[in-house]
Structure 1
Amino acid sequence: MDLDAYVGLHRAEWARLENLVRRAARPRRMSGVELDELVDLYQRAATHLSVIRSRCPDPMLVDRLGGTVTRARAVVTGTRDPGWHVVGRFFTVTFPAAVYARRGWVLATCAGSLAVALALGLWVLNSPAAYSGLLPPDEVAAMCRTDFARYYSENPAASFAAHVWTNNAWVSASAIALGALAGLPTLAVLLANATNLGLVGGYMTSCGESTQFFTLILPHGLLELAVVFTAGAVGLRLGWSMIDPGPRRRAEALAMEGRAAVAISLGLAVALALSGLIEAFVTPSSLPAGVRIAIGAAALALFVGYVLVYGSRAVAAGETGDLEKDLLVDLAPTV
């Protein structure tokens, strides 16, 4: 067989097949005629590949045409391509849809946690018994004088960022996972977080260091607290699915919430990496306080805007953050 002549005869078909495979990434934009053409060209290219392999197996040609046929087969048969588009789908559909679908729980968790923190801070400020009974005066003085600010700068920024990210990711993952125990441990995690925030804020304000408190907390804390509240909300909803599964069986409700919780945990870990970098490099920096807080506000706005835009779009399209619809068929009961 004259390989050059064979390639020349079919090159245009292979090029057309490659073009259709690229277009199939957005199948809704393809017409029925194009989809039929894609199937036909895939079958013909598979035959061409078989002929070349058996009669004149040129390695470069076999590799190139084989790649085209493999990608076309994935499109035609629906085989999943474990490529980067899976990662892209996670961050543009699965994760934001899961968070957006739980936005009511997130807002309620945020409001409740901040209310507890504010109440405890005011208690410390207005109750002499609480002020003197919760922390010894020397610890309060040390906190106001050096300890609170030194925490953010006493270690190298890179190692501090890694430490903060690991710790916060663990706390968030625990808040989500412990929700399976009827949500009670998750409430404890949220209460501990709110208590720490409120008491430290109250003591720092009592000694005239409220400005230092907020300028050191807000740059990284805006995003960090949003992530913690989200994790807590997911854990609470996971626990609630055991108490009130709705029209689903209890095991099905727990499984559905659990799968979404895993996706949310992974996405929140990325957000916590960003807040960790801010905490290590921005919070203790010499930048003006307004600039540092603006950076924190921008990070929070980016996270909230991302969830609102991509999440609302995905939920409107029927996504929930659970498995894709074609995989959910495998979970349906059979008789």
Structure 2
Amino acid sequence: MTDTASPARLLRSQRFRREREADWARLERLLDRVEKGSVARLTDDEILAVPVLYRSTLSALSVARETSLDQGLIDYLETLSARAYFFVYGARATLQDRVIGFFRIDWPAAVAGLWRETLASAALMAFGAVVAAWLVTVEPEWFYAFVPADLAGGRNPAASTETLRATLDGTDTGDGLSVFAAYLFTHNAQVAILAFALGFALCVPTAMLMIYNGATVGAFVALFASRGLGVEIGGWLLIHGVTELFAVILAGAAGLKIGWAVAFPGDRDRRDAAVRAGRPAAVAMGGVVVMLFIAGLLEGFGRQLIEDTVVRYAVAACTGLIWAAYFYGPRRRASDAR
């Protein structure tokens, strides 16, 4: 009985394969082309055909298993189905495609979607700067409450106007203000990371960090402005500060996005709301790292090489316009960019 069953099963397997092998061969050819290059090798019609052929192959695999067809055919269909699965449901983009997609679509879209939180974060930082500047103007001793003595490095209310001016126009042979710039960059980077990481705590730590960061900058600017150096310190800070402070503001916006979702989840569970808000916030935060790197280059080279205040403001204005156009300017949709 076994002897007659095996030839019959083999005949069924051959007939089954003959009826469907054209589709399997086509699917295999398409997958070979993708695996040797990229999805761009396929036409639109071929891309649409792959899911159809994949489902057909899965159906054939199910029939082959249920009717106990030969094991070789089952193994072939399992391998082909697995390959097609990764095409249909897996990540097909190359590393280069992912990087380009991040800078071209993902990052600017995430930042643009955080515009409300960005305005709130900027307002909190501006509030801290204005309050600290006003307090230092009224009573210079307030400077020490916002700028630690080791950070100021002698650039405090007790310093002479000429000493402060020398640190801005390049005539100071010391590197005190350079140390301050490096410290301020490190400080801003730490604030950015903490503002994002602590956003889940109902926005409170993030808001406090934004106010504190603004107060530090505001107090330092107020000191120089009180000596008639407000324009000069503005150019010195903004040549890299436009990028650096904007990065901190965006980090604060990302933290506020998550914190607001936790505080007011709506119809969702708090955990689900936080995860949903965290996706675009994390993308925006990934770009913040890039902005801080660019700010570091501007601080390390641009501020050192450019000593003219007008040129410093011009560079600051250009960077501001570039970021504004990049994040908020009109752009083609992903489907139109192909």
Inter-partner Cα distance in structure 2 for 1:168 and 1:232:
11
Aligned equivalent of 2:192:
172
Q: Which of 240, 247, 261 is matched with 1:227 structurally? A: 247
Q: Which of 104, 108, 113 is matched with 1:101 structurally? A: 113
Change over 3 Å in CA distance of 1:166–1:203 after alignment to 2 = closer
Inter-partner Cα distance in structure 1 for 2:252 and 2:268:
23
Inter-partner Cα distance in structure 2 for 1:241 and 1:117:
27
SS at structure 2 position matched to 1:86: helix
Matched, 1:131 2:140: yes
Matched, 1:250 2:270: yes
TM-score normalised by structure 2 residue count: 0.65
Aligned equivalent of 2:258:
238
Q: Describe the superposition over 1:219-269 as per-residue Cα deviations: whole angstroms up to 9, x where unpaired.
A: 111111111111111112211111101222111011222333322221110
CA contact (8 A) 1:97 1:312 kept: no
The alignment's C-alpha RMSD in Å is: 4.4
Aligned equivalent of 2:213:
193
Inter-partner Cα distance in structure 2 for 1:148 and 1:287:
8
SS at structure 1 position matched to 2:305: coil
Report the CA distance between 1:309 and its aligned residue: 4.1
- Unaligned stretches of 5+ residues in structure 1: 1-12, 41-68, 318-335
Aligned equivalent of 2:224:
204
Q: Which of 149, 154, 174 is matched with 2:175 structurally? A: 154
Inter-partner Cα distance in structure 2 for 1:303 and 1:227:
10
Inter-partner Cα distance in structure 1 for 2:120 and 2:234:
23
- Unaligned stretches of 5+ residues in structure 2: 1-27, 54-79, 145-155
Aligned equivalent of 1:213:
233
Aligned letter for 1:233? A
Inter-partner Cα distance in structure 2 for 1:240 and 1:285:
42
Aligned equivalent of 1:81:
92
TM-score normalised by structure 1 residue count: 0.65
Inter-partner Cα distance in structure 1 for 2:116 and 2:106:
18
CA contact (8 A) 2:129 2:219 kept: yes
Aligned equivalent of 2:103:
91
Aligned letter for 1:108? A
Identity %: 27
CA contact (8 A) 1:98 1:260 kept: yes
Change over 3 Å in CA distance of 1:87–1:215 after alignment to 2 = same
Q: Which of 18, 30, 44 is matched with 2:44 structurally? A: 30
Change over 3 Å in CA distance of 1:140–1:74 after alignment to 2 = farther
SS at structure 1 position matched to 2:272: helix
CA contact (8 A) 2:198 2:255 kept: yes
Point out which structure has higher relative CO (alpha carbons under 8 A, 6+ apart): 1
Change over 3 Å in CA distance of 1:23–1:280 after alignment to 2 = closer
CA contact (8 A) 2:124 2:207 kept: no
Aligned equivalent of 1:328:
none
SS at structure 2 position matched to 1:179: coil
Aligned equivalent of 2:289:
269
Inter-partner Cα distance in structure 1 for 2:86 and 2:312:
48
Aligned letter for 1:300? G
Report the CA distance between 1:86 and its aligned residue: 2.0
CA contact (8 A) 1:92 1:310 kept: no
Aligned equivalent of 1:332:
none
Change over 3 Å in CA distance of 1:303–1:74 after alignment to 2 = farther
